[in-house]
Amino acid sequence: MNRLTLHRLLLWAVLLIFAAWFLTPLYVMVVTSLKDAEQLRVGNLLSLPTAPTLDAWHKAWSSACTGVQCEGLQPFFWNSVITVVPAVLVSTLLGALNGYVLSKWKFPGSETLFAFMLFGVFMPMQVVLLPMSQVLGWLGIASSIWGLVFVHVLAGIPSTTLFFRNYYVGLPDELIKAAMLDGASFWQIFRRIVLPLSTPILVVTLIWQFTNIWNDFLYGVVFSGADSKPITVGLNNLANTSSSVKEYHVDMAAALIAAMPTLIVYIVAGKFFVRGLTAGAVKG
């Protein structure tokens, strides 16, 4: 009995130490964002604010300078929303269709094509920038929100296809066969049988894509137009001032605002994320 308790104690100790390590940066960010300039100078990294205030948050949202304009992160926030929603939906849908075909309607060469596509996951983003700009210029959607959405969709297809394919491989083929015997078409099987069973993997893919696209900076700064810059660009402009006193509390508040949607998604839907993974996103 003693040994078991000792084990449990050890288990908890390790888990808690890790939890502290994981939580510290978040703690630092929150605590700093609640201070004002005076408290920043006097205190240290971990000290609690002596007089917590939301001023930094107000400033970051509506009046911090991000260039010649000083409107805070608010305009960028909406640009991100407008970019992310279509990009996530389209790339997820395409991933689902591709996964469906690759797992249930294989044709000669489909596995090879899939392998080739997987390799694309490893391509660093910087390589893409210039040629993609040229292509977008030819298509007439350069420096616009549509160009940005297009690039995000293209970049997301390999990952979403991977997720859906691995999941659908786990669905019994008998289901499909039975439906075909009943005379169902390709589309009907997808809509009526496969999609309803896809909830776990849909959640995983939506969360994954949302996080990646919302947090992306490089494509966001290069492919967007002057009116469609996402929030990461705004945050970068705000925090990367090369002159004047660094306002760490505003920087931290801005970083938290930028991270808020994805944080909320993970905290609220994290359970479903893991459930979706359990259901076979990566069993492959």
Q: Which stretch binds other proteins (CB under 8 A): 48-56, 124-132, 191-199?
A: 124-132
- Provide the 3-class DSSP secondary structure of residue 179: helix
For other proteins, the binding residue among 2, 5, 126, 196 (CB under 8 A) is: 126
Report the Cα 235 to chain-centroid distance in Å: 16
Does residue number 258 form part of the binding site for other proteins (CB under 8 A)? Answer: yes
CA pair distance 85, 210, nearest whole angstrom:
8
Q: Is the dihedral of CA 258, 261, 262, 267 positive or negative?
A: positive
Q: Is the dihedral of CA 201, 219, 258, 78 positive or negative?
A: negative
Does residue number 251 form part of the binding site for other proteins (CB under 8 A)? Answer: yes
| Spatial contact of 215 and 37, defined as CB atoms under 8 Å apart | no
- Residues 244, 248, 253, 257: what is their CA dihedral angle, to the nearest 10 degrees? 70
Output 54 or 260, the one with its CB closest to other proteins. Answer: 260
* Residue span 226-245 as binding mask against other proteins, x where in contact by CB under 8 A, dash where not: xxxx--xx-xxxxxxxxxxx
Q: Which amino acid is at 181?
A: L
Q: How far is the CB of 89 from other proteins (least distance, A)?
A: 14
Q: Which stretch binds other proteins (CB under 8 A): 54-62, 191-199, 271-279?
A: 271-279
For other proteins, the binding residue among 78, 85, 89, 192 (CB under 8 A) is: 78
| Spatial contact of 229 and 221, defined as CB atoms under 8 Å apart | yes
For other proteins, the binding residue among 17, 54, 85, 282 (CB under 8 A) is: 282
Does residue number 6 form part of the binding site for other proteins (CB under 8 A)? Answer: no
Q: How far is the CB of 35 from other proteins (least distance, A)?
A: 13
The candidate with the shortest Cα–Cα distance to 219, out of 232, 208, 209, is: 232
* Residue span 161-200 as binding mask against other proteins, x where in contact by CB under 8 A, dash where not: xx---x------x--xx--x--x-xx--------------
Quick count: other Cβ atoms within 10 Å of Cβ 178? 13
For other proteins, the binding residue among 6, 15, 89, 195 (CB under 8 A) is: 15
Does residue number 132 form part of the binding site for other proteins (CB under 8 A)? Answer: yes
